Amino acid sequence: MADNKSIDQATGTETVGHEWDGIQELNTPLPRWWLWTFYASIVWAIAYTVAFPAWPLVSRATAGVLHWSSRGQLDQELAADAARKAPLLKAIAATPIEQLPGKPQLWQAAVEGGHAAFRNNCTQCHGTGAAGSKGYPNLNDDDWLWGGDLKAIQYTIANGVRNPDHPQTRTSQMPSFGRDGLLQPNEISDVVAYVRTISHQQPANAEARRGAAIFAANCAACHGATGTGNRAVGAPNLTDSIWLYGGDEASLTNTVTNAHYGVMPRWEAKLGPTQVKMLAAYVYSLGGGERAPVQIAGAPPKR
């Protein structure tokens, strides 16, 4: 190229020497600092691969002389986060649950921590929005089998329901009236009619009137004379609109015939008391929580 310099007449600019169909390329070079910027980039790139993990080897990459790695950084950040949260968790652990709502900062942290724990451990049965499904209670509503104040919720989560390996667990047993032959099918349909009457799903009729006597003899012991249930034994309120296993005739007949035994693990064994406390706070905050018998100082703020 340097050998045969040819100058373009029109512009006075040297050409690079290529020619194609009589068209020649002018040599209009870039400024020199551009070149040096390019060299500097190369030097930077080399320095970078020496300083940081870069070259792939057989089982791992070069570590880099700065010993930085994204994994290491994550570990650091997680450790820093745990250290940041430690005093808060300690304070939550030390505060009795009924006093948590009076301390907005602790309450908020507990609700958020409980939400995280809920997502990991509870959504499988109760759903991500805690709305439950047939057989798994909806935790948003105001109907509680075992009590809906903070302490009752905490106790339920800690000890589980019908958990076989622990004496503290919540246990209730409804007899399988049909399967065990305690009631005849016609008696069952009578009592179902009665239950549907007291829950305002159908008007009273002869069937229901017969069922009232059967109810008083067989069911009132747990569900109460008026069917409003008994939280001490986890007997549901049969007069409201909420049905764990369905309130239609077929579902109720099935329930009375076979009975249901929903099971929940004893979470304290797995999560420890602090997380259970936070879970209880979260469940309480979903909108259906009941006032604890103990008067709470201040209204509990949510989020």
Partner 1 sequence: MGLGKNSGLYEKRQPVFPKAVDGRFRRFKWLVMVAALTIYYVTPWLRWDRGAYAPNQAVLVDLAHRRFFFGPIEIWPHEFYYVAGLLIMAGVGLFMVTSIVGRAWCGYACPQTVWTDLFQHIERFVDGDRNAQLKLAKAPWGPAKAARRLTKWSLFLLVSVLTGGAWIFYFADAPTLAREFLAGDAPYVAYATVALLTTTTFVFGGFMREQVCIYMCPWPRIQTAMMDERTLIVTYKDWRGEPRGRGRRPATLDDLGASPEKLGDCIDCNQCVAVCPTGIDIREGPQIGCITCALCIDACDQVMTKIGKPRGLIDYATLEDCAAEKAGRAPRRLSKVLSHPRTLIYFAVWGGVGAAMLFSVGDRARLTISAQHQRNPSFVQLSDGHVRNGYTVKLRNMEGRPRAIEVSVAGLPGAVLWTDGGSRAQATDRLTATVPADSLAKLPIFVVAPLVDEGSESFEFRARALTKDHPETAAVRAEFEGPEEQ
Residues that bind partner 1 (CB under 8 A): 2, 5, 7-8, 11-14, 26-35, 101, 107, 127-131, 138, 140-143, 200, 237, 240-242, 285, 287-291, 299-303
- Between 73 and 241, name the residue whose CB sits nearer to partner 1: 241
Nearer to partner 1, 36 or 55 (CB): 36
Nearer to partner 1, 2 or 83 (CB): 2
CB of 72 to partner 1, least distance (A): 22
The distance of closest approach from Cβ of residue 279 to partner 1 in the complex, given in angstroms and rounded to an integer, is: 16
Nearer to partner 1, 86 or 294 (CB): 294
Pick 145 or 183: Cβ nearer partner 1: 145
| Cα atoms in the Cβ-side hemisphere of radius 13 Å centred on 60 | 5
92 token code pair: 């939550």
Bridge partners, residue 170, by sequence:
161
Give the separation between CA 95 and CA 71, rounded to whole angstroms: 36
Q: Count the Cβ atoms, other than its own, within 10 Å of residue 138.
A: 18
What are the tokens at 252? Answer: 């109720």
Q: DSSP character for 293?
A: S
CB of 174 to partner 1, least distance (A): 20
If the CB atoms of residues 28 and 59 are measured against partner 1, the closer one turns out to be 28
Alpha-carbon distance of 278 to 89, in angstroms, equals 9
Residue with tokens 């939550």: 92
Which residues have C-beta within 8 Å of that of residue 77, sequence separation ≥ 6? none
CB of 182 to partner 1, least distance (A): 28
Closest CA to 153 of 268, 259, 246, 240: 268
Min CB(242)–partner 1 separation in Å = 5
| Burial of 48 (C-beta count, 10 Å sphere; 0-12/13-18/19+) | exposed
Write down the residue that tokens 């002018």 correspond to. 26
Residue 2 C-beta: closest distance to partner 1, Å? 6
In angstroms, the CA 174 to CA 230 distance is 13
Pairing between β-strand 15-20 and β-strand 23-26 as defined by DSSP bridges: antiparallel
Query: Closest CB to partner 1 among 183 and 238?
Result: 238
What's the closest the beta carbon of residue 281 comes to partner 1, in angstroms? 10
Which one, 172 or 285, has the nearer CB to partner 1?
285
- Minimum gap (Å) between residue 83 Cβ and partner 1: 22
* Secondary structure class of 23 (helix, strand, coil): strand
